[in-house]
Amino acid sequence: MAVYTEVTDEALRAFLAEYGIGELQAYRGIAEGVENSNYALKTTQGDFILTLYEKRVDPAELPWFLGLMRHLAAQGLSCPEPVPGRDGAALRQLAGRPAAICTFLPGFWPRRVRPSHCAPLGDALARLHAAGMGFPATRKNGLGAEAWAPLLDRCRADGEPGLIAELDAALAAILAEWPAPGALPIGHIHADLFPDNVFFLEDAGRRPRISGLIDFYFACTDMLAYDIAIVLNAWCFESDYQFNVTKARAILSAYGARRPLTPAEWAALPVLCRGAAMRFLLTRLYDWVNTPPGAMVTRKDPLEYLHRLRFFAHARDAAAIGG
Ligand SMILES: Nc1ncnc2c1ncn2[C@@H]1O[C@H](COP(=O)(O)OP(=O)(O)OP(=O)(O)O)[C@@H](O)[C@H]1O
Ligand SMILES: N[C@@H](CCO)C(=O)O
């Protein structure tokens, strides 16, 4: 579940009085998500999402995330748009936590990814990258390549020794090949565009179209192709860990129709995919060894990403992963 901070009825009504978004009619905590506390609000003026920012989000960075979301929405990308209070401020305090209200997006995230989700996804990722171009402020990727060795060290004492040894070797190989700064095009990337952060609506023929992208709290300024690598990791593996090259091709060709990849990006794609697998493996492993038994949060399985890492380690070139 992800309601770490409980909000009382009274506190919420007092909070909403600072906005001009109507009277509260109903609200409920949202069980999904692991990072922040989320509430769905219904007011006399419509539906909204209230987020209370928890552990991993640095409050000093919230203006950047909210500013990026505002910028992307203004460029026509469908994403949550921060709603300002009567005083113009979108970032406020509630129940002792930084909090913001954003617009509600309709649609559902795909519990089972079908190939037909993948072209719209690739297209949306390219649109996101294009829309981000005019946002001037940058944010370093706090979970980028230089964060991985320290993260692995913090898992070392509690991780299974065979696994830690495999990760040590894999990480050394990834870092040895990692693109140098400036080698690939950079921009603002989502950095966590998993199926649960992409909402779809379907027409009568079950053809999905994207209704919006959510959860920009890992967004940062990094290699655009690294965002593609994250998406290939998160969307293209079946439950038996088989890589679905049809899905990957659909993502890559729809993305490339809007922004063709450079030869250097194609060449780097396999190592970027290994790096992305390593990043999610490590954060999941860290959470796995540091979440106390009985905590009210669903831990995600790190080993899913070990299988992905092993797959990408055998991919000789981009053609092996759908390029
Ligand atoms: N703008 C929005 N419109 C509609 N629903 C939303 C919106 N933002 C969040 N939600 C709902 O809240 C859930 C959790 O949101 P989100 O993924 O941002 O949380 P989180 O705690 O940051 O999770 P994680 O980082 O684990 O994905 C979503 O699956 C969705 O159901
Ligand atoms: N998408 C992440 C969770 C945090 O955003 C994962 O699946 O490990």
Q: Are 178 and 281 in a shared domain? A: yes
For residue 239, report the distance from its CA to the centre of ligand 2, in Å. Answer: 16
Number of Cβ within a 10 Å radius of residue 66? 21
**Domain coverage including residue 14:** 9-103
For residue 54, report the distance from its CA to the centre of ligand 1, in Å. Answer: 13
Structure tokens at 137: 């402020």
Instruction: Check which CATH number belongs to the domain holding 148 and give it.
Output: 3.90.1200.10
State pLDDT tens for residues 276-288: 999 999 999 998 9
Contact (CB, 8 A) for 254 and 119: yes
Contact (CB, 8 A) for 179 and 267: no
Average pLDDT over residues 196-220: 95
For residue 280, report the distance from its CA to the centre of ligand 2, in Å. Answer: 7
If pLDDT is split at 50, 70 and 90, which confidence band does 1 have?
very low
For residue 204, report the distance from its CA to the centre of ligand 2, in Å. Answer: 31
Residue list, ligand 1 pocket, CB within 6 Å: 2, 30, 32-36, 38, 49, 80, 102, 104-105, 196-197, 214-215, 217
Q: Are 269 and 294 in a shared domain? A: yes
Measured N-to-C along each axis, helices 145-155 and 161-177 cross at an angle, to the nearest 10 degrees, of 170
Structure tokens at 108: 């559902």
| CA–CA dist 185, 202 (Å, integer) | 33
Query: Which atom from ligand 2 is nearest to the alpha carbon of 197?
Result: 1
ipTM for the predicted complex: 0.91
Contact (CB, 8 A) for 323 and 28: no
Q: Are 193 and 75 in a shared domain? A: no
pTM of the model: 0.95
Share of the chain above pLDDT 90, in %: 89
Q: Are 162 and 260 in a shared domain? A: yes
pLDDT of residue 290: 84
Which residue carries 């979301």 as its tokens?
Answer: 69
For residue 212, report the distance from its CA to the centre of ligand 2, in Å. Answer: 18
Contact (CB, 8 A) for 80 and 86: no
Best residue among 30, 41, 143 to mutate for probing ligand 1's pocket (most ligand atoms within 8 Å of CB) is: 30
**Which residues on neighbouring strands pair with residue 209, listed in sequence order?**
201
- Where do runs of H (alpha helix) occur along 138-223? 145-155, 161-177
pLDDT of residue 31: 82
